[in-house]
C-alpha cells in the first residue's frame, strides 16, 4: 500500500510517501522554521537520489503541504501515475484526549472529536486538522487515519494522570495528564530493547524525545506508566518556545501586573518562552549552541537550564520505576547533538548512567541506532533515530486494509 504520512508540527512539516510492502520510502520531505523568512521545504527522492528545495515564505503549515503535493505530482515515483495512486493518508495527531486510546479511521464523527481536542494541543492539533481538511478536499475518496501521540499514555495509572484539583474538574472537563510524543516513545523503547537484545516486556526504559518540543516517558514492561507532558504539551520540560512547568501563580501574577488577556498569556507561554525566551536568539538549539560558543551568556544560560530540566526529569522517572535498564535519546536534539548528550549525562553518572565520550562523539554515526554508554554502565544509554513516519504508515495500512477486508 502507498501511504502518504503527514506529520504536522507547530513550525514543521515532516512527510514521507511510503510503500508499506517492503517498507520502502518513495519520498521524504521536511519543512522547518515555518513562519520564518528562511522557511523552506526540502524534498528527497531516494529512488533517483534527487533533492529539491522549495521556498515557503509566508505560508501556513497546510499551505506547505499543498506545495509538497505539487512537488509529488511533478516528480511522481515510478510506482505511481498520479496523486490518486496514494491509497491512504496517515496523520500524526498530538492529542486525542480521552476520545481515542488507539489509532482510528477518520470519518465525520472521528474528525469532529479530533477538532474538539485542539485546545489540548494548541500549537499542533490545529495545523494537523487543517492538513486533514485539505486532504479531504483534494483526495476525498482516499481514506485517512489519525495516529495519536496521547494513545500510548492511556496506560498510565490514575495516580500518574490525575491532578490534585477538585474532582469535578476531571469529571466535568476531563482535566488530566494526557502526555504526547507517544508514537516516538513507543518506537524508541522497542528499538532500544532490540539494540540490547532484550525483551521489551521485561525492561524498564526512560525514553527522551528531545526536539523543538520535548517529553520523557517511563516505559515499564512495554507500557507507559508516566510522562512529563500533561493536560497539554505545555507542561514538563523547557522547550523551544514553551515554558514547560512553572509555578501556576506566575500566570495570574503577570496577567494582573501587565493587564493582559488569556490569549496573550497563552501566546507568551507557548510561543515566546523556553529556549527562545531565555536566549533571546531563537528556539533552534543549533543556533543557541553556536551563540554560546561565541560567549553569549543568555544562550549559555538557556542551555544550562534546558540540560538541568532534563536531568531532573530523568531522576524523577527513575524514582517511580521498579527497575531502569536503559535511557533512550531520540528526536532532533536527542539524536543529533552529542554536546547536549554530554552535558545531560555528565550529571547522571552517579545514578549508573555513564556515557562513553568516544562513542558519543563518533562522526558519521548520526542516523544509526547505537549504544553510547560505557560497556559496564549499569544503565545503558541508547541513541535511536526516530521513525514516526514508518510506524504511522504501518498503522495506517493495518487499519485501512482491515476495514476493506471487513
Kindly report the three-state secondary structure assignment for every residue of the chain.
CEEEEEEECCCCEEEEEEECCCCEEEEEEEEECCCCCCCEEEEEECCCCEEEEEECCCCCHHHHHHHHHHHHHHCCCCCCCCHHHCCEEEEEECCCCCCCCCCEECCHHHHHHHHHCHHHCCCCHHHHHHHHHHHHHHCCCCCEEEEECCHHHHHCCHHHHCCCCCHHHHHHHCCCCCCCCHHHHHHHHHHHHHHHCCCHHHCEEEEEEECCCEEEEEEECCEEEEECCCCCCCCCCCCCCCCCCCCCHHHHHHHHHHCCCHHHHHHHHHHCCHHHHHHCCCCCHHHHHHHHHCCCHHHHHHHHHHHHHHHHHHHHHHHHCCCCCEEEEEHHHHHHCHHHHHHHHCCCHHHCECECHHHHHCCCCCCCCEECECCCCCEEEEECCCCHHHHHHHHHHHHHHHHHHC
The reported pLDDT for the residue numbered 17 is 93
Instruction: Judge whether 2-148 and 197-383 match in fold.
Output: yes
Q: Is the pLDDT of residue 273 over 60?
A: yes
> Which of these ranges, 96-105, 189-198, 209-218, 375-384, has the smallest mean pLDDT?
96-105
Residue 9 has pLDDT above 90, yes or no: no
Give the mean model confidence (pLDDT) for residues 97-111: 91
Task: List the domain boundaries for the chain.
Answer: 2-148, 197-383
User: Where does the pLDDT of residue 36 fall: very low under 50, low under 70, confident under 90, or very high at 90 and above?
Assistant: confident
Q: Which CATH architecture has domain 197-383?
A: 2-Layer Sandwich (3.30)
pLDDT for the residue numbered 403: 66
pLDDT value, residue 111:
95
For 291, what's the count of Cα atoms within 13 Å in the CB-facing half-sphere?
21
Tell me the range of 50-54, 168-172, 362-366 where mean pLDDT is highest.
168-172
Question: Which position has the higher pLDDT, 363 or 62?
Answer: 62
405, pLDDT greater than 60: no
Q: pLDDT, tens digit, for every residue of 344-355?
A: 999 899 999 999
β 2-8/204-210 pair status = unpaired
Examine the pLDDT at 94 and tell me if it is beyond 90: no
The pLDDT of residue 19: 93
Provide the pLDDT for residue 388.
79
204 - beta bridge partners? 220
What CA–CA distances, in Å, run from 338 to 47, 333, 342, 365? 31, 9, 6, 10
2-148 CATH: 3.30.420.40
Q: What is the mean pLDDT of residues 354-359?
A: 93
% of the chain beyond a pLDDT of 70: 98
pLDDT > 90? residue 75: no
Mean pLDDT of the chain: 91
Give the confidence band of 50 by pLDDT, cuts at 50, 70, 90: confident
What pLDDT does residue 391 have? Answer: 84
pLDDT in the model for residue 367: 67
- 120 compared with 382, residue with greater pLDDT: 382
Query: What value does the mean pLDDT take over residues 214-236?
Result: 95
CB 334 within 8 A of CB 316: no
pLDDT-based confidence at residue 16 (cuts at 50, 70, 90) = very high
Label residue 113 by pLDDT band (50, 70, 90): very high
pLDDT at 233: 86
Distance CA 380, CA 326 (A): 5
Q: Which residues contact 225 (CB under 8 A, 6 or more apart)?
A: 155, 156, 157, 160, 218, 219, 320, 321
**pLDDT tens-digit profile of 148-179?**
988 899 999 999 999 999 999 999 999 999 99
For residues 116-133, give the mean pLDDT.
88
Q: Which of 149, 226, 284, 387 is catalytic?
A: 149
**What pLDDT does residue 353 have?**
96
- Average pLDDT score over residue span 220-237: 94
Angle value at C-alpha 218, between 334 and 343, nearest 5 degrees: 35
pLDDT band (50, 70, 90) for residue 247: very high
Residue 406 has pLDDT above 60, yes or no: no
Q: Rounded mean pLDDT of 189-195?
A: 94
Is 149 part of the annotated catalytic residue set? yes
The rounded distance, in Å, linking the Cα atoms of 348 and 230 is 25
Distance CA 276, CA 283 (A): 5
Question: Quick count: other Cβ atoms within 10 Å of Cβ 397?
Answer: 21
pLDDT above 90 (res 279): yes
- Gap between the Cα atoms of 374 and 75, Å rounded: 46
Q: Quick one: pLDDT band at residue 196, thresholds 50, 70, 90? A: very high
Q: What is the mean pLDDT of residues 48-58?
A: 85
CA 172 to chain CA centroid, nearest Å: 29
Q: For the whole model, what pTM was predicted?
A: 0.83
Confidence of residue 119 (pLDDT cuts 50, 70, 90): confident
Q: Which residue has the cell 562522526?
A: 363
CA atoms within 13 A on the CB side of 364: 0
pLDDT recorded at residue 363: 64
Amino acid at each position: 500500500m502507498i501511504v502518504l504520512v503527514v506529520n504536522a508540527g507547530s513550525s514543521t512539516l515532516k512527510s514521507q510517501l511510503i510503500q508499506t510492502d517492503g517498507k520502502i520510502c518513495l519520498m521524504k520531505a521536511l519543512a522547518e522554521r515555518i513562519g520564518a523568512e528562511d522557511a523552506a521545504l526540502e524534498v528527497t527522492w531516494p529512488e533517483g537520489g534527487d533533492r529539491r528545495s522549495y521556498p515557503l515564505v509566508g505560508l501556513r503549515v497546510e499551505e506547505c503541504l499543498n506545495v509538497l503535493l505539487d512537488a509529488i505530482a511533478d516528480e511522481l515515483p515510478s510506482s505511481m501515475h498520479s496523486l490518486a495512486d496514494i491509497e491512504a493518508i496517515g496523520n500524526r495527531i498530538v492529542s486525542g484526549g480521552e476520545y481515542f486510546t488507539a489509532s482510528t479511521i477518520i470519518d465525520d464523527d472521528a474528525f469532529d472529536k479530533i477538532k474538539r481536542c485542539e485546545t489540548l494541543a494548541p500549537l499542533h492539533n490545529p495545523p494537523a486538522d487543517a492538513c486533514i481538511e485539505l486532504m479531504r478536499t483534494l483526495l476525498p475518496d482516499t481514506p485517512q487515519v489519525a495516529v495519536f501521540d496521547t494513545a500510548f499514555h492511556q496506560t498510565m495509572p490514575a495516580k500518574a494522570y490525575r491532578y490534585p484539583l477538585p474532582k469535578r474538574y476531571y469529571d466535568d472537563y476531563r482535566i488530566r495528564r494526557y502526555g504526547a510524543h507517544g508514537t516516538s516513545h513507543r518506537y524508541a523503547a522497542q528499538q532500544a530493547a532490540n539494540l540490547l537484545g532484550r525483551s521489551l516486556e521485561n525492561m524498564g526504559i526512560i525514553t527522551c524525545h528531545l526536539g523543538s518540543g520535548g517529553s520523557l516517558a517511563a516505559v515499564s514492561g512495554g507500557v507507559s506508566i508516566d510522562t512529563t507532558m500533561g493536560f497539554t504539551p505545555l507542561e514538563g520540560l523547557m522547550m523551544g518556545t514553551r515554558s514547560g512547568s512553572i509555578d501556576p501563580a506566575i500566570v495570574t501574577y503577570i496577567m494582573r501586573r501587565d493587564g493582559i488577556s488569556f490569549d496573550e498569556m497563552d501566546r507568551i507561554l507557548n510561543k515566546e518562552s523556553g529556549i527562545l525566551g531565555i536566549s533571546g536568539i531563537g528556539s533552534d538549539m543549533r543556533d543557541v549552541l553556536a551563540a554560546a560558543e561565541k560567549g553569549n551568556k543568555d544562550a549559555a544560560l538557556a542551555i544550562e537550564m534546558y540540560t538541568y530540566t532534563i536531568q531532573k526529569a530523568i531522576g524523577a522517572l527513575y524514582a517511580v520505576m521498579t527497575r531502569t535498564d536503559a535511557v533512550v535519546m531520540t528526536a532532533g536534539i536527542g539524536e543529533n547533538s552529542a554536546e547536549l548528550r554530554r552535558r545531560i549525562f555528565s550529571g547522571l553518572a552517579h545514578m549508573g548512567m555513564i556515557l562513553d565520550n568516544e562513542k558519543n562523539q563518533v562522526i558519521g554515526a548520526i542516523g544509526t541506532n547505537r549504544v553510547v554508554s560505557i560497556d559496564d554502565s549499569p544503565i545503558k544509554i541508547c541513541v535511536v533515530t526516530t521513525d514516526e513516519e514508518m510506524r504511522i504508515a504501518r498503522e495506517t495500512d493495518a487499519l485501512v486494509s482491515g476495514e476493506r477486508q471487513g
